[in-house]
Amino acid sequence: MSKPASPRKVGEREALALATTVRGSPYKLNLVAGLIRGKKAEDAVNILTFSRKAMAVDVKKCLQSAIANAENNHNLDVDSLYVQEASVGKSIVMKRFATRARGRSSRIIKPFSRLRIVVRERDAETQEA
């Protein structure tokens, strides 16, 4: 006897991708995630490809994963996808110490972030508009 299937975490015509340990602060990641919120999936990939922000590489990887999940797992039309949600949160924090002058040390904090991207298939009547 196996476990019952877990319920879907998103809606019926949506697909989800998570990046749980993105190296960098949530503030910097949120600046890049804000660039793609509400955009068509194809436009969002182009924006991230040519962005000069270093975090854009990780956001693009997560977005492409969400698009692939929509196509392969949920049989959604890739051409009508848009980014419904791109939310950012805190993850773990690595704590390190650096030696300083006169026998002292100081703490270095290396933050990690979480990224959740949800893509949704646009309705046929709203896609034309």
Give per-residue pLDDT as tens, 38-65.
Answer: 999 999 999 999 999 999 999 999 999 9
Of the candidates 38, 29, 17, 31, the residue with the CA atom closest to the CA atom of residue 83: 38
Fold of 14-124: Ribosomal Protein L22; Chain A (3.90.470)
Burial class (CB in 10 A: 0-12, 13-18, 19+), 28: middle
Task: List pLDDT tens digits, range 66-113.
Answer: 999 999 999 999 999 999 999 999 999 999 999 999 999 999 999 999
